[in-house]
């Protein structure tokens, strides 16, 4: 239980230290594990997040964690119902990458729903709203830098100048305003922290060995069967597979791709994501074994998109009435 919202609590402490004049991208005492230090670069978020998250950092961590959960889950559920006419709660409970991300307090799902609602706003020609949401999603670039670039290029191709112009102006306000408030050195501190970031997280793309070829083949099959014509979804899939970070929660975008491409997804393959690490625990933690376990867990999302639904053993209410 002590690990609940551990990542989020660490981020909040980093902001609190910044408010006191310290460098948030340096090493600092771990708020969850006494006697341990947070690695330098653990707060890897771009500097504008220091200002955007400050109101949350001033709250007690249980309250700010609850706000994070609600801000992630409610838009995800609304988007899932709007996309597939089904609830998305089974994904949050049964698929390990999403469940783990929520448990440790990751902002991956929050950035993803900003990206997906930004895409919907762009399709509806609500360009300023889309620009705001895409600018917020960009603050976690590993989630969707390719689909954001695609939406902007598509708008330019269609001569919809308001979306890219609004996106640029909002980012200038966020990033330039941060430099004015925190000083330009905050960006040097951020880049220095990023140099240490790769030292404590697996930094290989999901398409790398040992099972990257299998994962890639299933992804191509999924796109061929379900996603042809959806270039935004394809860029999100590519972004997830090629970004050099192979931790379980980093692949959360696959859930939204499956929901988008197969609204009739079955729930039973999601359980495999929990059974795989339970039945095949790692005897040795090496880069290859960690990457292999991550890939095996993540492939369950692609199976969810490709496998059929199980027949329901009980008759539907409409059939009972007949």
Token pair for 167: 């996106």
Token pair for 76: 């995800």
5, 8, 172, 197, 242 from 115: Cα distances, Å = 23, 20, 19, 24, 18
Report the alpha-carbon distance of residue 277 to residue 131 in Å, rounded.
40
E-assigned strand segments in 97-230: none
Token pair for 135: 């600018």
φ and ψ of 209, to 5 deg: -60, 160
DSSP 38-83: EPTT---S-THHHHHTHHHHTS-HHHHHHHHHHHHHHHHHHHHHHH
DSSP type of residue 236: H
- pLDDT the model gives residue 317: 47
Q: Give pLDDT tens digits for 217-267.
A: 999 999 999 999 999 999 999 999 998 877 889 899 999 999 999 999 998
Average pLDDT, the chain: 90
Report the alpha-carbon distance of residue 294 to residue 288 in Å, rounded.
10
Model confidence at 215, pLDDT cuts 50, 70, 90, reads very high
DSSP type of residue 124: T
**For the chain, which residues make up each domain, given as ranges?**
212-306
Q: Give pLDDT tens digits for 172-185.
A: 999 999 999 999 99
**Which residues, other chains included, contact 166 with Cβ-Cβ below 8 Å and sequence gap of 6+?**
127, 128, 131, 132
Three-class SS of residue 28?
strand
Per DSSP, what are the bridge partners of residue 234? none
- pLDDT the model gives residue 318: 44
Whole-model pTM: value is: 0.92
Q: Give pLDDT tens digits for 56-86.
A: 999 999 999 999 999 999 999 999 999 999 9
- pLDDT the model gives residue 291: 84
The length of the chain is 322
- pLDDT the model gives residue 185: 95
Model confidence at 201, pLDDT cuts 50, 70, 90, reads low
Residue tagged 């889950």 (tokens)? 73
């Amino acid at each position: 239980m002590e690990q609940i919202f551990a990542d989020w609590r660490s981020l909040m402490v980093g902001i609190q230290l910044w408010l006191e004049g310290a460098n948030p991208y340096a090493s600092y005492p771990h708020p969850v594990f006494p006697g341990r230090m947070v690695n330098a670069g653990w707060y890897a978020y771009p500097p504008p997040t220091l200002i955007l998250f400050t109101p949350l950092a001033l709250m007690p961590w249980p309250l700010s964690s609850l706000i994070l959960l609600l801000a992630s889950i409610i838009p995800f559920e609304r988007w899932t119902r709007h996309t597939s006419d089904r609830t998305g709660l089974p994904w949050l409970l049964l698929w390990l990458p999403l469940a783990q991300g929520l448990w440790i307090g990751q902002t991956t799902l929050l950035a993803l729903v900003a990206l997906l609602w930004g895409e919907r706003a762009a399709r509806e020609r609500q360009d300023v709203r889309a620009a705001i949401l895409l600018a917020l999603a960009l603050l976690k670039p590993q989630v969707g830098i390719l689909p954001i670039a695609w939406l902007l290029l598509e708008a330019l191709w269609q001569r919809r100048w308001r979306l890219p112009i609004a996106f640029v102006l909002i980012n200038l306000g966020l990033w330039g305003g941060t430099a004015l408030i925190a000083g330009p050195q905050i960006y040097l501190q951020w880049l220095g922290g990023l140099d240490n970031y790769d030292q404590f997280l697996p930094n290989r793309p999901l398409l790398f060995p040992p099972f990257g070829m299998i994962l890639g083949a299933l992804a191509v099959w999924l796109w061929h069967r379900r996603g042809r014509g959806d270039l935004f979804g394809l860029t999100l899939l590519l972004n997830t597979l090629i970004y050099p970070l192979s931790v379980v929660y980093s692949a959360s975008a696959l859930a939204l791709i499956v929901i988008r491409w197969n609204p009739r997804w079955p729930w039973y393959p999601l359980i495999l994501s929990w059974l795989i690490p339970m039945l095949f625990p790692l005897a040795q933690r090496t880069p290859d074994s960690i990457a292999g376990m991550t890939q095996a867990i993540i492939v369950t999302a692609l199976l969810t998109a490709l496998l059929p639904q199980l027949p329901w053993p009980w008759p539907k209410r409409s059939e009972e009435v007949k």
